[in-house]
Structure 1
């Protein structure tokens, strides 16, 4: 769907490059996560991919066409949800939707979308009366207005309660199931873990790691098995090497004789991998 080759970009007033020669591909029907700390180049890359920025070096292909040579028909096939929802606050939600619908030749089923995100009952409310979460959900509807082939989502669930976040994640999964492709950036690693087929970690304008979440967890995790069990009213924690665990008599005896409370492999989390690869904590960016 997308092929990015040796992409470089420098903002006009900057001496240093923001994007320093990144290359990656996004397959059709794939959800691709693009992760990294603030200032790493995520938003800049997305703006280049959706043709908001040019003057880059390198090549970008969308459906085997160089995006520099594609006309405005490109925008008919993509949907974009920016992190900060921007709507006309002195118009109702439906007035906002109808305004943007006119920009596209192909239109989605708006009533179905609005009902799905729980906004249909409030469609005639002024957007200024909407909560932050409602504005985020309306933002997602707007990204889907033209039945796009490709979605660009920037922090799509940030600010949503767990129920509404799950609704949006389910809609993203269904979009993929129907053949859609997604480029997503988020600092909510559980969302990335649930949604993405592959992820790339970008640091200081360069891709440092790129693989499936599972492979990254195996690479950065410990090959251990940790179990917790009760003994004399206290919780005891023991850890064993994964290799040869089927023949480890101490481990097997514990399984057979103790009241096991939890059993975990040493699999790490995407949060831990993010911090390890980027050197930046998720709340200190």
Structure 2
């Protein structure tokens, strides 16, 4: 089942001469983690604002849960969770007071805020004012806020930004846990490692248009054969060579070193998502 259906969408901000979003088309299926991958200013956040109902002056069609976003019902926000890259909180309130207040805005029963804080390692900071929180702590707090009401659809904007590797791992594991529960997730990021690890499919977006959509694996494999770099001893001197993986069986120096036992190292040099993005757009992530 398609949870999100976007057809030929354009959007121009009133202060701009040109469209920021230009002819975007894609869909997201239930239980899928779909990633928007692109540099700052590519149109990722604008597309997310359209999908979350913040921007409604678009042309084309944007349907979520089968309803055109221009005509969304008031209970739309009961079913989605949004985690912004720069989350806003009441800084003079504690984390628990913030979560308790936001939980009161929903008509449905919400999760225990303290249990969510414990999952992201903030249980001992729950009664501290948010004004004392670091950026990483606010990012974790923003993430659990988006989960309070057990939404069916999650919009995550750079969820691991500003986090150390350990806390980023915790959030990524929680995102994958949400997927296992059947949630649909739209992940906006310029972090190729997060996209490759988490996403079922990704869309490359640059200049307000989508340049490619596919699985991370398919995108990495579509442009060029994997390169293999190997080193070997020749007359007691180490030499190095690189060839395509498909040509390795015909590389005479490699085969000779393999038979003589003089091969000293070998490793593949697969293209990254960023390599592919640069090939398609001429821009880095």
TM-score, length-scaled by structure 2: 0.92
* Conservation of the 8 A alpha-carbon contact between 2:34 and 2:202: yes
Supply the distance in 2 between the matched residues of 1:177 and 1:155 (Cα, whole angstroms). Answer: 21
Instruction: Indicate the residue corresponding to 1:16 in structure 2.
Output: 18
Supply the distance in 2 between the matched residues of 1:92 and 1:83 (Cα, whole angstroms). Answer: 20
The 5-angstrom pairing of residues 113-262 of structure 1 reads 113-229=116-232, 236-243=239-246, 245-246=248-249, 248=251, 250-256=253-259, 257-262=261-266
* Conservation of the 8 A alpha-carbon contact between 1:230 and 1:261: no
Higher mean alpha-carbon deviation, 168-177 vs 6-15, is at 6-15
What's the offset of the Cα at 1:162? 0.2
* Conservation of the 8 A alpha-carbon contact between 2:154 and 2:183: yes
Higher mean alpha-carbon deviation, 244-253 vs 271-280, is at 244-253
Instruction: Indicate the residue corresponding to 1:103 in structure 2.
Output: 105
What's the offset of the Cα at 1:61? 1.4
What's the offset of the Cα at 1:229? 4.3
What's the offset of the Cα at 1:244? 5.1
The 5-angstrom pairing of residues 32-111 of structure 1 reads 32-106=34-108, 107-111=110-114
What's the offset of the Cα at 1:87? 1.0
What's the offset of the Cα at 1:232? 7.4
* Conservation of the 8 A alpha-carbon contact between 1:229 and 1:262: no
List per-residue Cα deviations over 1:188-232 (Å, max 9, x = no partner): 211111111111111111111111111111123434322234667
TM-score, length-scaled by structure 1: 0.92
* Conservation of the 8 A alpha-carbon contact between 1:240 and 1:251: no
Are 1:263 and 2:267 counterparts?
yes
Supply the distance in 1 between the matched residues of 2:88 and 2:165 (Cα, whole angstroms). Answer: 22
* Conservation of the 8 A alpha-carbon contact between 2:37 and 2:191: no
What's the offset of the Cα at 1:14? 2.0
What's the offset of the Cα at 1:233? 7.6
Higher mean alpha-carbon deviation, 273-282 vs 42-51, is at 273-282
SS of 1:73's equivalent in the other structure is: helix
SS of 1:275's equivalent in the other structure is: helix
- The change in CA–CA distance for 1:77 and 1:232 in structure 2 (over 3 A counts) is farther
SS of 1:120's equivalent in the other structure is: coil
Supply the distance in 2 between the matched residues of 1:47 and 1:77 (Cα, whole angstroms). Answer: 16
- The change in CA–CA distance for 1:119 and 1:229 in structure 2 (over 3 A counts) is farther
Instruction: Indicate the residue corresponding to 1:3 in structure 2.
Output: 5
SS of 2:128's equivalent in the other structure is: coil
Q: How many residues align?
A: 281
Structure 2 residue ranges without an equivalent (≥5): none
